[in-house]
Structure 1
Amino acid sequence: MKKGWLEWILLSVALIWGANYTIGKFGVAHMSSIQFSALRFIMVAPILLLITGIIERGIRIEKKDWGRLIAVSIVGVTLYQTLFMVSVKYTTATNASLLISMSPIFTGILAILYKHEAFSLKTQLGSVLAFFGAAFVLLFGHSSHALSQLAWFGNIMGIVAAIAWGWYPILAKPLVVKYSALRVTAWSALIGAIPLTVYCLFTYQTLIWPTDIGSWSSLAYSVLFVTVYGLVMWYVGIGKIGSTKVMVYMYVIPLFAVVFAAVAIGETINAMQLLGGLIIFSGLYIVKKSPAPKTALKLKKAN
């Protein structure tokens, strides 16, 4: 795959993920966030495991690693994906995308707490600046489309989702080094779907099965484009050009999210959202430009 084509593919993934902040709203308009996530990952898991088996010629995880894999699955799928959909449901696509874009900040903080990396003053200053930006979005970033009584709840869930997504790579690092990000993600999709499915089974009588095309189209988009195409191409990119260069594309996702929301559903961005977003990305930029701290966790890749 030529480098130029790979860059366009990664941009398409960022666009798909950015659009999901708006398209996901149709999926949870009638279904609960847990129901939507359960259906999504029940469908996704077999596909990802099949793709992993084809690409890597194996999907085995050693018995001693299953405890960590379960923890990774609960945080990265059960918690994060559900919280993501809750945030998308109750607040604006703009707010959700800005708040969840803070996940690299929490990854940096947790990496220090877990002693994976050494303390960096510049990184922490960037983190504090990003938190100030989040405060602007949380307290003042409400457009006319986000004036529902539960908009504040969606904003808070966006922050919690960012924490969960920031925690995920810290927990997953030993597994990703030993196996691969694709294999860990495939198994996480299956394991993370189990508690969501069990919850849906126990609350089956209260579930709503929508008949509108919007709900099911949103689910299909999430399965085929966001997860299968998006994740596989993302990990292909990491394999070709490395995780550092690929992660740069994460920073354009909120831009795509804001533009798509404005075009598709007429969502507007106000001055406080804009100011908060600029502060958040200033903090992220400082963190990105910080010298790479020495890694405290030494891992050996398995044969």
Structure 2
Amino acid sequence: MKHAQIHAKLLVVAAIWGLGWPAGRVVAADVSPIVAAWIRYVIVAGLFIFYLQRKDNWSYPSPTQWKNIAYIAFFSTFLYQSLFMYGMKYTAAGDASLVITFNPLFTAVLAVIFLGERLTRNLILGLTMALVGMLVIFTASPNTDIPELDRWFGNTFIAGAALAWAVSSILMKKLMSDTPEDAQQPLTPVLVTIWASLVGLLLLTPWAGIEIAREGLPSPSFEAWVGIIFLAVFSTVLAYVWFADGILVIGAGKASFYVYLVPPFGILGGWFLLGEQLGATLILAFALIVAGVVIAQKQEEENEQPS
């Protein structure tokens, strides 16, 4: 198969991102959510700085680009990571991996509001189907060993994380396509992610410092350290670089297909590693949400057609 190595890497990326949900559940049960996110991004920042030093084609953003990166850092690192860790404290990994799939739908809706893209029947139908799927997760999850109110809280936090990431996606799209007057060229996806991660770490630091001052230095268990390192090294740095390589070689559309494999890995990972429950309702929710996303993604094709 052509580009077999890239496809193999993307399959590994889907597995890593899927297993990131049970890893997050383990970490959130052991360490304060904000402190855990901060430790994760200390490791991420160190690895990204090492990565930058080994590359010859990196550059500093212009003042205008720095401003936009600060907004992206707030939504993609500070807000997303806070909501992700708080969500994983309360809900099941399998449930969360399905809820986060709402991200592209939120992105499509925000593109209508802020980028002037058209609201089409495909988007409305896809959004409706996915909302039904999310309702199934909220009301009929097989993970009844977790109190229902906790699952509602956790799933709501994860939905908020999906919305935060969607906002950052809109901002990133503009940053990577526009060249401000004080810049020579748009920033690449890798550079945007790296700089936003570093700024996001700065935003997380004061809150983490307050929690450490109030509760003392964290002492994660061995399992929590494994989870933090997995989230930092594999789920954030390695997976993103490989996914960016996939987009470069086979295109965004084909690479994005592998994102649909994340929830099955998340559900199976939660079952195998954490003893979470499997059930027909998870399959139903997965089918509704993914079908809704696929239908709604035709929104982009319709927007590209002449009006």
2:156 is the alignment partner of 1:156: yes
Structure 1 CA distance for aligned equivalents of residues 67 and 149 of structure 2: 40
Structure 2 CA distance for aligned equivalents of residues 164 and 217 of structure 1: 26
Structure 2 CA distance for aligned equivalents of residues 67 and 244 of structure 1: 29
Shift of 1:222: 1.2
Equivalent residues of 2:33, 2:86 under 8 A apart: yes
SS in 2 for 1:145: coil
2:203 is the alignment partner of 1:195: yes
Structure 2 CA distance for aligned equivalents of residues 143 and 213 of structure 1: 25
Shift of 1:107: 0.6
Letter in 2 for 1:48: F
Letter in 2 for 1:246: A
Structure 1 CA distance for aligned equivalents of residues 160 and 240 of structure 2: 22
- CA 49–124 in structure 1, closer or farther in 2 if over 3 Å, else same: farther
Question: Where does residue 35 of structure 1 map in the other structure?
Answer: 35
2:24 is the alignment partner of 1:59: no
Equivalent residues of 2:18, 2:269 under 8 A apart: yes
Deviates more, 1:56-65 or 1:201-210: 201-210
CA RMSD, 1 decimal: 1.9
- CA 286–79 in structure 1, closer or farther in 2 if over 3 Å, else same: same
Equivalent residues of 1:117, 1:293 under 8 A apart: no
Equivalent residues of 1:45, 1:187 under 8 A apart: no
Letter in 1 for 2:62: E
Question: Where does residue 181 of structure 2 map in the other structure?
Answer: none
- CA 62–160 in structure 1, closer or farther in 2 if over 3 Å, else same: same
Shift of 1:142: 4.6
1:116-131 maps to which residues of 2 (within 5 A)? Answer: 116-131=116-131
- CA 236–52 in structure 1, closer or farther in 2 if over 3 Å, else same: farther
Letter in 1 for 2:256: M
1:40-51 maps to which residues of 2 (within 5 A)? Answer: 40-51=40-51
How many residues of Structure 1 are paired with residues of Structure 2 in the alignment?
A: 295
Question: Where does residue 224 of structure 1 map in the other structure?
Answer: 233
Structure 2 CA distance for aligned equivalents of residues 110 and 284 of structure 1: 14
- CA 83–195 in structure 1, closer or farther in 2 if over 3 Å, else same: same
Structure 2: gaps (5+ residues): 178-185
Question: Where does residue 265 of structure 2 map in the other structure?
Answer: 256
2:249 is the alignment partner of 1:240: yes
Equivalent residues of 2:72, 2:171 under 8 A apart: yes
Shift of 1:250: 0.6
Q: Percent identity at matched positions? A: 27
Structure 2 CA distance for aligned equivalents of residues 142 and 42 of structure 1: 36
- CA 42–19 in structure 1, closer or farther in 2 if over 3 Å, else same: same
1:62-81 maps to which residues of 2 (within 5 A)? Answer: 62-81=62-81
Equivalent residues of 2:43, 2:233 under 8 A apart: no
1:127-138 maps to which residues of 2 (within 5 A)? Answer: 127-138=127-138
Shift of 1:275: 2.2
- CA 56–148 in structure 1, closer or farther in 2 if over 3 Å, else same: farther
Question: Where does residue 187 of structure 2 map in the other structure?
Answer: 179
2:169 is the alignment partner of 1:169: yes
- TM score, norm. by length of structure 2: 0.90
Equivalent residues of 1:31, 1:208 under 8 A apart: no
Letter in 2 for 1:20: G
Deviates more, 1:204-213 or 1:247-256: 204-213
- TM score, norm. by length of structure 1: 0.91
Letter in 2 for 1:180: T
Structure 1 CA distance for aligned equivalents of residues 127 and 233 of structure 2: 34
Equivalent residues of 1:84, 1:158 under 8 A apart: yes
Structure 1 CA distance for aligned equivalents of residues 121 and 70 of structure 2: 33
Deviates more, 1:200-209 or 1:190-199: 200-209
1:187-239 C-alpha deviation (Å, 9 max, x unpaired): 11111111211112123231452252111111111111111211111111111
Structure 1 residue ranges (4+ consecutive) displaced by more than 4 angstroms after TM superposition? none
1:155-194 C-alpha deviation (Å, 9 max, x unpaired): 1111111111122210111222311110000011111111
From 285, 291, 296, the equivalent of 2:294 is 285
Letter in 2 for 1:257: G
Equivalent residues of 1:80, 1:165 under 8 A apart: yes
- CA 174–3 in structure 1, closer or farther in 2 if over 3 Å, else same: same
Structure 2 CA distance for aligned equivalents of residues 246 and 81 of structure 1: 24
Structure 2 CA distance for aligned equivalents of residues 43 and 187 of structure 1: 14
Shift of 1:244: 1.5
Equivalent residues of 1:100, 1:159 under 8 A apart: yes
